[in-house]
Amino acid sequence: MKVLLKDDVKNIGKMGQIVEVADGYARNYLVPKGLAIEANTKNIKSMEHQKRIIQDNAKKIKVSAQDLLNKISTITLVIKAKAGEEGKLFGSVTTMDIAELLQNEGIEIDKKKISLDEPIKRLGSYSVNVKIHPEISTQVNIQVVEE
């Protein structure tokens, strides 16, 4: 049976592909789970239209991510923290702290998209990677100063 995949299916194919699968596999698994529909002309035209809509939305999201990249790359975040001898912090600066500072600047970034190998535990300047979009990432400059 020929089916049109509505989602990526491991070992079968990617979304939008027309693939030949066993009748029972299509009837009992792919179609009931919403992973595929029968490959007739109506469904194929409908899927092509949905693909165009998705591609247009993806372009808009990428453009907004590019604008956000320009905004983030110019910012230097200043974090005030209590420090002891030799510039060691009492505590540490984490991705949650960085996300909070970005939010104060009007930039909404999830803390999971901020890449920090280990928490910052000393005073100084740091460059932290922020993944804005699957294809777009940037560095945000962080200055940790004594309170």
- CATH code at position 138: 3.10.430.100
Give percent above pLDDT 90 in the chain.
35
pLDDT for the residue numbered 47: 83
Residues 25 and 84 in one domain: no
Residues 133 and 91 in one domain: yes
pLDDT for 95-119, tens place per residue? 999 999 999 988 888 889 999 888 8
pLDDT for the residue numbered 3: 92
pTM of the shown model: 0.65
The residue range of the domain holding 11 is 2-64
* pLDDT confidence bin for 19, thresholds 50/70/90: very high
Residues 7 and 60 in one domain: yes
What's the structural domain count of the chain? Answer: 2
Residues 90 and 131 in one domain: yes
User: What are 82's two structure tokens?
Assistant: 């209590």
**pLDDT beyond 90 at 26:** yes
| 99 vs 91: CA distance, rounded Å | 17
Average pLDDT of the segment spanning 6-14: 87
| 116 vs 28: CA distance, rounded Å | 45
pLDDT for 29-65, tens place per residue? 999 999 999 989 898 888 888 888 988 988 898 888 8
pLDDT for 78-97, tens place per residue? 999 899 888 899 989 999 99
| 36 vs 91: CA distance, rounded Å | 51
Residues 57 and 84 in one domain: no
